[in-house]
Structure 1
Amino acid sequence: MDKFFRKWVRKLHRWIAVPTAILIPIAVVIKLSGNPSWQMFLKKFEMVQSLLMLLLAISGVYLYLLPIYMKWNRKRTRKTKKSAK
Protein backbone atom coordinates (compact mmCIF):
# COMPACT_ATOMS: atom_id res chain seq x y z
CA MET A 1 0.00 0.00 0.00
CA ASP A 2 2.76 2.41 0.95
CA LYS A 3 4.71 1.83 -2.27
CA PHE A 4 1.49 2.18 -4.27
CA PHE A 5 0.75 5.54 -2.60
CA ARG A 6 4.27 6.88 -3.24
CA LYS A 7 4.04 5.87 -6.89
CA TRP A 8 0.74 7.70 -7.36
CA VAL A 9 1.95 10.81 -5.54
CA ARG A 10 4.91 10.99 -7.91
CA LYS A 11 2.62 10.61 -10.94
CA LEU A 12 0.19 13.18 -9.59
CA HIS A 13 3.05 15.60 -8.93
CA ARG A 14 4.29 15.25 -12.51
CA TRP A 15 0.83 15.68 -14.02
CA ILE A 16 0.13 18.75 -11.90
CA ALA A 17 3.48 20.30 -12.82
CA VAL A 18 2.73 20.28 -16.55
CA PRO A 19 -0.45 22.42 -16.53
CA THR A 20 1.05 24.67 -13.87
CA ALA A 21 4.09 25.32 -16.04
CA ILE A 22 1.78 26.14 -18.94
CA LEU A 23 -0.63 28.33 -16.95
CA ILE A 24 1.97 30.59 -15.34
CA PRO A 25 3.24 32.19 -18.59
CA ILE A 26 -0.35 32.53 -19.82
CA ALA A 27 -1.27 34.38 -16.62
CA VAL A 28 1.71 36.71 -17.02
CA VAL A 29 0.71 37.52 -20.61
CA ILE A 30 -2.89 38.21 -19.55
CA LYS A 31 -1.74 40.51 -16.74
CA LEU A 32 0.59 42.42 -19.04
CA SER A 33 -2.03 42.80 -21.78
CA GLY A 34 -4.14 45.19 -19.71
CA ASN A 35 -7.34 44.25 -21.59
CA PRO A 36 -10.33 44.58 -19.16
CA SER A 37 -12.21 41.63 -20.66
CA TRP A 38 -9.20 39.41 -20.13
CA GLN A 39 -8.81 40.69 -16.57
CA MET A 40 -12.23 39.26 -15.64
CA PHE A 41 -11.14 35.91 -17.04
CA LEU A 42 -7.92 36.19 -15.05
CA LYS A 43 -9.74 36.15 -11.70
CA LYS A 44 -11.21 32.68 -12.38
CA PHE A 45 -7.97 31.59 -13.98
CA GLU A 46 -5.99 32.51 -10.86
CA MET A 47 -8.24 30.34 -8.68
CA VAL A 48 -7.35 27.25 -10.73
CA GLN A 49 -3.71 28.24 -10.81
CA SER A 50 -3.63 28.73 -7.03
CA LEU A 51 -5.19 25.32 -6.44
CA LEU A 52 -2.64 23.66 -8.73
CA MET A 53 0.22 25.45 -6.98
CA LEU A 54 -1.09 24.33 -3.58
CA LEU A 55 -1.33 20.69 -4.69
CA LEU A 56 2.11 20.94 -6.25
CA ALA A 57 3.58 22.36 -3.04
CA ILE A 58 1.99 19.70 -0.82
CA SER A 59 3.08 16.81 -3.03
CA GLY A 60 6.54 18.38 -3.43
CA VAL A 61 7.05 18.61 0.33
CA TYR A 62 5.93 14.99 0.71
CA LEU A 63 8.34 13.83 -2.00
CA TYR A 64 11.15 15.92 -0.50
CA LEU A 65 10.69 14.53 3.00
CA LEU A 66 10.09 10.92 1.92
CA PRO A 67 13.78 9.89 1.61
CA ILE A 68 14.56 11.51 4.96
CA TYR A 69 11.74 9.59 6.63
CA MET A 70 12.73 6.32 4.96
CA LYS A 71 16.34 6.71 6.12
CA TRP A 72 15.20 7.48 9.68
CA ASN A 73 12.85 4.48 9.62
CA ARG A 74 15.66 2.15 8.43
CA LYS A 75 17.93 3.31 11.24
CA ARG A 76 15.18 2.86 13.81
CA THR A 77 14.42 -0.65 12.52
CA ARG A 78 18.10 -1.64 12.69
CA LYS A 79 18.39 -0.40 16.26
CA THR A 80 15.36 -2.41 17.38
CA LYS A 81 16.70 -5.55 15.66
CA LYS A 82 20.09 -5.15 17.35
CA SER A 83 18.56 -4.59 20.77
CA ALA A 84 16.29 -7.65 20.34
CA LYS A 85 19.28 -9.97 19.82
Structure 2
Amino acid sequence: MRILGGKWTASILWHLKDGPVRFNELSRMIPGASKKMITERLRQLEAQGLVSRQVLDTAPVSVQYEVTHLGCSALGFLDQLRTWTDSLPGAED
Protein backbone atom coordinates (compact mmCIF):
# COMPACT_ATOMS: atom_id res chain seq x y z
CA MET A 1 0.00 0.00 0.00
CA ARG A 2 2.95 2.32 0.59
CA ILE A 3 3.83 2.09 -3.11
CA LEU A 4 0.35 2.14 -4.65
CA GLY A 5 -1.37 4.23 -1.99
CA GLY A 6 -0.10 7.61 -3.18
CA LYS A 7 -2.62 9.92 -4.75
CA TRP A 8 -2.84 9.38 -8.53
CA THR A 9 -0.43 6.42 -8.49
CA ALA A 10 -3.03 3.73 -9.14
CA SER A 11 -4.75 5.90 -11.73
CA ILE A 12 -1.50 6.44 -13.62
CA LEU A 13 -0.73 2.71 -13.65
CA TRP A 14 -4.27 1.92 -14.76
CA HIS A 15 -4.07 4.34 -17.70
CA LEU A 16 -0.77 2.80 -18.81
CA LYS A 17 -2.08 -0.78 -18.75
CA ASP A 18 -2.95 -0.96 -22.46
CA GLY A 19 0.45 0.07 -23.77
CA PRO A 20 2.83 3.01 -24.03
CA VAL A 21 1.33 6.46 -23.50
CA ARG A 22 2.93 9.83 -24.15
CA PHE A 23 3.11 12.23 -21.22
CA ASN A 24 0.68 14.83 -22.60
CA GLU A 25 -1.85 12.16 -23.49
CA LEU A 26 -1.56 10.74 -19.97
CA SER A 27 -2.10 14.17 -18.43
CA ARG A 28 -5.29 14.53 -20.50
CA MET A 29 -6.49 11.13 -19.24
CA ILE A 30 -6.18 12.31 -15.62
CA PRO A 31 -7.76 15.78 -15.64
CA GLY A 32 -7.77 16.25 -11.86
CA ALA A 33 -4.00 15.87 -11.51
CA SER A 34 -1.51 18.61 -12.30
CA LYS A 35 1.35 17.91 -14.70
CA LYS A 36 3.75 18.45 -11.81
CA MET A 37 2.01 15.78 -9.72
CA ILE A 38 1.92 13.33 -12.64
CA THR A 39 5.64 13.92 -13.23
CA GLU A 40 6.44 13.28 -9.56
CA ARG A 41 4.40 10.06 -9.48
CA LEU A 42 5.92 8.84 -12.76
CA ARG A 43 9.43 9.42 -11.38
CA GLN A 44 8.55 7.46 -8.24
CA LEU A 45 7.04 4.62 -10.26
CA GLU A 46 10.10 4.55 -12.51
CA ALA A 47 12.45 4.46 -9.51
CA GLN A 48 10.44 1.56 -8.07
CA GLY A 49 10.65 -0.34 -11.37
CA LEU A 50 6.89 -0.26 -12.06
CA VAL A 51 7.06 2.05 -15.10
CA SER A 52 9.63 2.54 -17.85
CA ARG A 53 10.34 5.85 -19.56
CA GLN A 54 11.42 6.23 -23.16
CA VAL A 55 12.52 9.46 -24.82
CA LEU A 56 11.34 9.49 -28.43
CA ASP A 57 13.41 10.93 -31.25
CA THR A 58 10.83 13.48 -32.38
CA ALA A 59 10.74 17.23 -32.76
CA PRO A 60 9.87 18.44 -30.22
CA VAL A 61 11.13 15.65 -28.01
CA SER A 62 8.38 13.42 -26.63
CA VAL A 63 8.45 11.01 -23.73
CA GLN A 64 6.32 7.92 -23.37
CA TYR A 65 5.74 5.66 -20.42
CA GLU A 66 4.68 2.05 -20.11
CA VAL A 67 4.12 -0.46 -17.36
CA THR A 68 6.98 -2.90 -16.72
CA HIS A 69 6.56 -6.61 -15.96
CA LEU A 70 6.68 -5.77 -12.26
CA GLY A 71 4.08 -3.05 -12.76
CA CYS A 72 1.79 -5.54 -14.49
CA SER A 73 1.74 -7.59 -11.32
CA ALA A 74 0.39 -4.53 -9.49
CA LEU A 75 -2.35 -4.17 -12.11
CA GLY A 76 -3.78 -7.53 -11.08
CA PHE A 77 -4.09 -6.26 -7.52
CA LEU A 78 -5.66 -3.00 -8.68
CA ASP A 79 -8.20 -4.87 -10.78
CA GLN A 80 -9.15 -7.02 -7.78
CA LEU A 81 -9.50 -3.86 -5.67
CA ARG A 82 -11.75 -2.29 -8.34
CA THR A 83 -13.92 -5.42 -8.43
CA TRP A 84 -14.17 -5.39 -4.65
CA THR A 85 -15.17 -1.72 -4.48
CA ASP A 86 -17.77 -2.28 -7.22
CA SER A 87 -19.36 -4.96 -5.02
CA LEU A 88 -19.77 -2.68 -1.99
CA PRO A 89 -23.27 -1.51 -1.09
CA GLY A 90 -24.04 1.78 -2.85
CA ALA A 91 -21.30 1.27 -5.45
CA GLU A 92 -23.88 1.36 -8.24
CA ASP A 93 -24.63 5.03 -7.53
Query: Structure 1 length normalisation: TM-score?
Result: 0.31
Q: When you count strand as a share of all residues, which structure comes out higher?
A: 2
Greater RCO, CA 8 A, separation 6+: 1
Q: When you count helix as a share of all residues, which structure comes out higher?
A: 1
Query: Structure 2 length normalisation: TM-score?
Result: 0.29
Larger Rg over CA atoms: 1
